[in-house]
Chains A and B, each alone.
Chain A
Amino acid sequence: NAGVTQTPKFQVLKTGQSMTLQCAQDMNHEYMSWYRQDPGMGLRLIHYSVGAGITDQGEVPNGYNVSRSTTEDFPLRLLSAAPSQTSVYFCASTLDLAHLPLFGPGTRLTVT
C-alpha cells in the first residue's frame, strides 16, 4: 500500500490562478478529508467525504471545491487563489471514524 499520497509537495501560485491539489489512497478508505494548517491555528477542516459521490463542508470551505468520483481520489480545487490561502494542506483518510486516520505528507502552498 502506498498509503495517502498528496501532490504536489510545494506550489507557488499568483493571486487569481486556479489549481488542484491531489490526494489519493489505495486502502479502500471511505472517509477522506482536507485540512489546512496555519501557524497558531492547528488544523482546520475544509471539506470531507464519507464515500464516493458524497462530500460536505467543514469549518473553512470558502474558496475551495471538492469532488469524490472514486473511492481512491479526493482532489481539492482552488478556483481563484488568494494570499489568505497560503497554508500547508493535509489530506487524510480512514476506513471509518472509529479508526485513526492516516495523513498525507502535506502540500505547502504559497499564493503571492
Chain B
Amino acid sequence: SQQGEEDPQALSIQEGENATMNCSYKTSINNLQWYRQNSGRGLVHLILIRSNEREKHSGRLRVTLDTSKKSSSLLITASRAADTASYFCASINTGANSKLTFGKGITLSVRP
C-alpha cells in the first residue's frame, strides 16, 4: 500500500485564494517531500522538510510537518492560474530499507 495519502483528491479555487493540501503517512519518516507535476510532464520537487523540522517556507509555499499525527500540509498562498497542476507528497521511511514512496496526488485547479 502507498505510504502517503493526500487530501483532498481534487481542489478548485479562484486565483488569489490560498490552497491547502494535506498528506498523511503511515510509518516513521526521515523526511517528507512535496512535488508538482504539470499535465503530461515530469515531476518537479518543491520542498523537502526533515523529520526534526515543523515548518518550512519557500516563496509562496509553506509546508508543515506534524510527526505526532503523521501528517503534513502544503499551503500555496495567493494562488495563480499557473499553479494548476497535480501535487504529490512523498516520504522516506526510517529503518534499514528506506524508500521514497508517493501518495496518489491532488489535482489543483486555479480559475483565473
Contact = CB atoms under 8 A, between A and B. Distances in A.
Contact of B42 (A45, A58, A97, A106): A106
Chain B binding site: helix, strand, loop or mixed by DSSP?
strand
B43 A97 contact: no
A19 interface: no
Contacts of B12: none
B11 interface: no
Contact of B100 (A40, A42, A56, A101): A101
A43 interface: yes
A92 B31 contact: no
Interface stretch (B55-63, B74-82, B102-110): B102-110
Given A58-B99, A105-B42, A42 B30 contact: no
Interface string B37-52: 0000011010010000
A90 B41 CA distance: 11
B76 to A, nearest CB: 19
Interface of B: 1-2, 4, 30-31, 33, 42-43, 45, 48, 88, 90, 92, 97-105
Interface residues of A, number: 22
A74 interface: no
A40 B104 contact: yes
A45 B1 CA distance: 10
Given A43-B88, A58-B99, A98 B104 contact: no
Given A42-B2, A43-B88, A59-B2, A104 B30 contact: no
Given A42-B88, A43-B88, A44-B102, A98 B2 contact: no
A106 B43 CA distance: 9
